[in-house]
Amino acid sequence: MVFLPDDLCATILSRLPIKVFTSFKLVCKQWNSVVESPIFRDLFISQHQNTQSSSWSLIKGASNRTEFLAHYRCKTWGLQRSLESYISSFISYKFENQRGKYRRGSVVAYSDAGFVLIDVSSYRYSGSTFEKRSLCVANPVSQECIEIDVPKAFENSGIFWPFGIATRTDNGVVISYKIVAYSSKSDVGYFVYSSETGLWSSLPYNFESCECNYTISLNGNLHWLSHNNDELVSMDFNATTMESGPFRYTAFPDLEKRVKFKRACTTYQGSLMYMNIVSQDNDDGSVDHKLCVWRLESWEWQLISEISTDLTETYFDYFPLRVDSLDATTAYFLSQKHQRLIAFNLRNGACLLRACLLHSGGPILRFLHHPNGSYFYSFVLPQWLYRLPRQHGEKSVDII
C-alpha cells in the first residue's frame, strides 16, 4: 500500500471500524496523514452513515455505577467489549498505585463526544491521608486524557461536586469543552471550567432548585430534571446573551395529563427525546392509554409519535429506557419484575425482542445487571473518534 495514492489508501481504510484504523497511524507517516485528514473523516462518515447502530451503554446511577445494558460489536467502532470494560480498564491503568500513593478515580459524567469526566482523589498509604483532588477528561477507548486541578478553595473539601461536561464541535473537531460543578455550601453555587481559558469561573445561582444527579450532555449544552420533575433545566452555553444566566426551563408537554412513568429524557442523533404512557379519560367513561414520544426542537416539545397497543395497558410492568441511538423507530423497555428487555417499534407497536442476550454474528445487545430502580446514565459513542483539545487543559489554575 506504500505505492498507492492517498485517495485510494483513504478509500480502503475508511471501510474499516474506528478501533482498527486508529492504530494504522503508527504504521507510517503517509497513513497517519491520511487518517488525520478532514477528507478521510468525511469519507468515513459517508461510508458508515447507513450502519445500523453504534456502541452504547446504559449505566445505573449510584455511588458505584454499574453497566446493566451494553450494545457493542457494531461496524462503526468495532469494539469487542462493552464500554464499561474500556472505562474500568482505563481507570485501572491510569490511576494505579504509584510511589506509596493510591489514586482513586470514579466517572461522574459522560459527554456526547465520547468523553468521560472522572473525579480523582489521591491518598497516601500511611493513615490513608487525603492529599489531592483533581478531574480527568478522558476518551476511554483511545485512552487519551487531560487532568485538571479543582479550585484550590475546594481541593480538600467534600462540598465540591462535578456533575457535567459539555463539548463544542466544529466541522468534526472538538474545539472546546466546559466542566460544570457545584458547591452545596457556597453562595456562588455553580462553577464552570473552560478549556479555552484554562480557568474556573463562578455562576451565582441557587443549586437547591435543581436536580443534579443526572445530566445529559448534548450539542455543547447540559440538561437535567428539576426537583419536582416537571421541567427540563438546560445550561445553554450557546446562548447569545448571559444577562439572566445560561439557564433555560422547558416544561414537559404532559403536565396536565396522567402519566405512567417518572419523567426522563434520552437522546437520538443530536436531539433530546422524551417518552411516556399518557392516560386520558373519554366522555363515555373509557380511558385511552397512548405511548407518546416527543422531540425537543428550538426549546419546544414536538410530538413525533403517538400509538395505542397492548404495551400501553395499565398492567404493563415495563418502564422505558431509551430510544435507540441511531433508530428513532425503536425504543427499549425493561421489566424490573421479570428482568427482561424488549425493543418496541414506535410506528406499529410491534414487540421486536424479549431477551437477555442478542447476538447473531453482528452487534451484541447484552443485559448485564438489574437496575434496581435507579436513574440511568447513557453513554453513546458518536460516529467519529473525537480528539481532546489541549490548548489550556493541562494547566493548573485557580478560581477567578
For residue 136, the one-letter residue type is C
Question: What would the pLDDT profile of 230-289 be if each residue is shown by its tens digit?
Answer: 899 898 887 655 555 678 899 999 998 888 888 888 888 888 999 988 888 877 878 888
Largest CA distance in the chain: 78
Q: How far is CA 225 from the centre of its chain?
A: 15
Q: How far apart are CA 270 and CA 292, in angstroms?
A: 20
**Grid cell in block for residue 388:** 481532546
Q: What is the DSSP letter of 290?
A: E
pTM: 0.86
- Bridge partners of 268, per DSSP, are 271
DSSP state string for 58-95: EEE-SSS-EEEEEEE--TTT--SS-HHHHHHHHHHHHT
**Sequence-separated (6 or more) residues with CB below 8 Å from residue 71:** 53, 55, 56, 57, 363, 364, 365, 366
| High-pLDDT (> 90) share of the chain, % | 19
According to the model, what pLDDT value does residue 31 have?
A: 82
- Given a contact cutoff of 8 angstroms between Cβ atoms, the answer to whether 133 and 120 are in contact is yes
According to the model, what pLDDT value does residue 50 have?
A: 67
Question: What would the pLDDT profile of 317-362 be if each residue is shown by its tens digit?
Answer: 777 888 877 677 888 887 766 667 778 888 877 777 654 444 445 6
Q: How far is CA 365 from the centre of its chain?
A: 18
Cα-based torsion angle of the residue sequence 61, 62, 68, 73 in order, rounded to the nearest 10 degrees: 70
Mapping DSSP onto H, E and C, the string for 199-240 reads EEEEEECCHHHECCCCCEEECCEEEEEECCCCEEEEECCCCC
Kindly list the strands in the beta sheet with 129-139, ordered across the sheet, starting from the edge strand earlier in the chain: 101-110, 116-124, 129-139, 144-149
**Grid cell in block for residue 47:** 461510508
Q: How far apart are CA 10 and CA 188, in angstroms?
A: 51
Cα-based torsion angle of the residue sequence 31, 36, 37, 42 in order, rounded to the nearest 10 degrees: 110
At 127 the three-state DSSP class reads helix
**Grid cell in block for residue 357:** 442476550
**Grid cell in block for residue 337:** 419484575
At 182 the three-state DSSP class reads strand
* Nearest by Cα to 198 from 124, 137, 259, 133: 137
According to the model, what pLDDT value does residue 62 have?
A: 59
According to the model, what pLDDT value does residue 159 have?
A: 72
Question: What would the pLDDT profile of 75-120 be if each residue is shown by its tens digit?
Answer: 888 898 899 999 999 988 888 655 556 778 889 999 999 999 999 8
